[in-house]
Chain A
Amino acid sequence: MSLTLNIRGLATRLFARPRLPTPTTTTTARFTTLTPVMMARFDSSANTFGGKAGLAAKQKRTAKKGSKGEQRDPKMINMLKHFAILSPRRIPPPLRMARNRHLRHWTIHRAWLLFRRREREGRERTLMRQYQGMYAACEALRLSDGPGTRETGYLYRVAMEKKGVYGHHGVPIEYARPQTETPARTPWNHDWKL
């Protein structure tokens, strides 16, 4: 947690650049970062260049060039690119809650952990039961006398061989894809051709 915070702090410092009052303010959200003094500066610039679109556009372009004047080290750019995943935009801030709310949050979190544990243990129990059932069935088969004059365990041996069960030299169709808990999103690809 603290590590994340430190990285957050680092990223915040890295990404913090002195903001220049760029006249290209297309969104209202951008305005929130500006102080009234800056706005007054915009007004004056807008007034001196009149309402002429061409002149204003020229001014915009020059202003942009001016702000771009300070060159960034390519190493720095590369680093920033890779630190982008740590930027405060990507990492949410830590949860800040009052006491009661934190206690409620904690209660819910504990209940969720408990619920997950129960689910997991139930699943494990089912699997174990199924495995043991299969094991007991096989054991019973191994100890039983075969049909007619066959020796003890004949049926077990034949069943384990599984000769021809999946077709001639076949393998179970389940092996066609990795075994998962839930079915695949497309259960069968009917268009598949060799």
Chain B
Amino acid sequence: MSRCQQVARPLVRSLRPCPSAAAAASQSSHTTLAVRYLSSTAARRDLDKTTTTQPGSDALDAALLGQSAAAAPQDTPQTRQQLAALGSADLGSRRRRAALATTGDIPFEQLPYQCFQEARKILNQDREEKIAKIVAETEKIKRLEAADASTMRGGEAYKQKRLVSLREHVEELKILADINDPEVKRRFENGTGDMSKPIYRYLANRRWRSMDHKIVVQRIEQFNIVPDLLPRFEPTMDVKMSFRGYTVSPGAVLDSRLTEVAPTLRMQVFDKGERLLTIVVLDSDVPDEATDGYARRCHFLAANVPWDPSKNLLSLRQVGGGGGELAVPWLPAFAQKGAPYHRLSLFVLEQKAGETLDGAKLKALYGGRDGFSLKSFRDKFGLTPVGFNLFRSEWDEGTAAVMEKHGIPGADVEFKRARVVSMKTPRAAKGWEAKRQGPKYKSLWKYTKRIKGARFERN
């Protein structure tokens, strides 16, 4: 045997599938998983295989949205079992198995990693400092509240300003006390954070600002929501819209069959306390032949929806039932043939603290839907726009059916561009053919006479 062969032999052996290992793999699922554990890609491919796709009702919705229904991660018993096996004590290196077998269930904070424990000491010390500060600041606030404003140089105004800034400082300290806690991070990432606590609201706000807020702001700018609907607008709460269970990205062009039913909203506010919200959906691109322009139409209006940070989900179909008053029910989004896309914007407005809107008055004012102005609505009832989302609607194959089903007239109307007649005087025809129209060139008539689209008039 050559030297080369000698060196390579153990390697070749390890590369070939070992017969005993293969036999073991067929007997026990754990060993196969153990092999997969080393490469994450193989395991993932395997997870894909076990998920089942169900063509049927989902397929239509998915096709409408241009998404594939199978793309959504599915939580089947098989995948759950496999995930559990990945975390089990039977897997991993000999060292890992030994460690798991001998240590039992140690809570995360008490895991015996030296650097980790030292880090926790530092963080705990910092947290205690922060809590002591919170206590001191609260005392200070109490003292200031009890103090007489006339003894201060700035008077009542100074006192109130100082109180506001002290309270803000306490809120900041509350966040700083918890921001370094790995358990808080874990709970937030799991989605089990208690939104009534400032730290989780802060983290949620930061996550929203990192991307979704930017997208919403971009849509407001690029679809000219400002200044078409409001002179200025800065969204401060997260509003996500989903039709028939599909979350749509802001500004997407949606099929009219999908938007036939009212959407479900996922709304998250980031400041504490109860408040009442008003929800408006309006179409800002209704073609108006009379003025040769565009008008606005109210598609949905609900007021007095009680909301707080711990709430998340609101179905616009059930607004009238549990809290909130439905003033104008959902009208399916539609666009007539030939009209450019309609922007349907959803606004969430915050009502003044402790004030409820009169549903009957809203119905009387906006029941007609046409000519709805968000700006005047805002000014009339003292509302603050806080949340925004947007989708677009175009004429498609389902629109006529949807309009007929809901008794909306105008499905047979098609918009066309008015022909613009040229104001230039007609000029004599030019060119080789035009010159050879006369009887002198009779022999060439077969080339010059019957040209499609060209008319040579003799003058």
User: Which residues in A have some Cβ–Cβ distance to B below 8 Å?
Assistant: 25, 28, 31-32, 34-36, 39, 42-43, 46-47, 99-100, 103-104, 106-108, 110-112, 114-115
Q: Which residue of B lies closest to A108 (CB)?
A: B119
**Please, which residue of chain A has its CB at the minimum distance from the CB of B1?**
A43
Known: A111-B119, A114-B123. A31 touches B182 (CB 8 A): no
Task: Give the number of chain B interface residues (Cβ < 8 Å).
Answer: 24
Instruction: List 8 A–B pairs whose Cβ atoms lie within 8 Å, in order of A's numbering.
Output: A31-B8, A31-B11, A32-B11, A39-B12, A46-B4, A100-B111, A104-B182, A111-B180
| Nearest CB in chain B: distance from A187 CB, A | 34
The 5 lowest CB-CB distance pairs between A and B, nearest first, are: A111-B119, A108-B119, A111-B122, A103-B182, A110-B180
Instruction: State which of B2, B115, B126 has its C-beta within 8 Å of the C-beta of A108.
Output: B115
**Inter-chain contact A114/B113, CB cutoff 8 Å:** no
Does B16 lie within 8 Å of A36, measured CB to CB?
yes
Contacts of A115 in B (CB 8 A): 122
Within the assembled complex, what's the spacing in Å between the Cα atoms of A60 and B12? 23
Contact A106 B182 (CB under 8 A): yes
User: Smallest distance from the beta carbon of B452 to chain A beta carbons, Å?
Assistant: 54
Closest to A45 in B: B4
Is the Cβ of B123 less than 8 Å from the Cβ of A104?
Answer: no
Q: How far is the CA of A31 from the CA of B15 in the complex (A)?
A: 12
Chain A residue nearest to B16 in the complex (CB): A36
Contact B126 A114 (CB under 8 A): yes
Q: Chain B residues in contact with chain A, CB under 8 A?
A: 2, 4-5, 7-8, 11-12, 15-16, 108, 111, 113, 115-116, 118-120, 122-123, 126, 180, 182, 185-186
Contact B119 A112 (CB under 8 A): yes
Measured between beta carbons, the chain A residues less than 8 angstroms from B122 are 111, 114-115
**Cα of A43 to Cα of B5 in the assembled complex, Å:** 7
A46-B2, A107-B123, A115-B122 known, 5 other contacts, Cβ within 8 Å: A36-B8, A36-B12, A103-B185, A104-B113, A110-B119
A32 to B7, CA, bound (A): 11
What is the CA–CA distance of A32 and B12 in the complex, to the nearest angstrom?
10
Complex CA gap A106/B183 in Å reads 11
Q: Is B4's CB under 8 angstroms from A104's CB?
A: no
Given the interface pairs A31-B7, A31-B8, the reply to whether A47 lies near B2 with Cβ below 8 Å is: yes
Given contacts A110-B123, A111-B119, contact A36 B4 (CB under 8 A): no
Q: How far is the CA of A13 from the CA of B224 in the complex (A)?
A: 43
- Which has the most chain A C-beta neighbours within 10 Å: B8, B11, B126? B8
B8: chain A residues within 8 A (beta carbon): 31, 34, 36, 39
Residues of chain A within 8 A (CB-CB) of B2 are 43, 46-47
CA distance A39 to B7 in the complex (A): 11
Nearest A residue to B4 via CB reads A42
Write the nearest CB–CB distance from A36 to chain B, whole angstroms: 5
Asked if A111 contacts B108 (CB within 8 A), the reply is no
Report how far A34 CA is from B12 CA in the complex, Å.
Answer: 10
**Bound state CA distance, A112 and B122, in angstroms?**
9
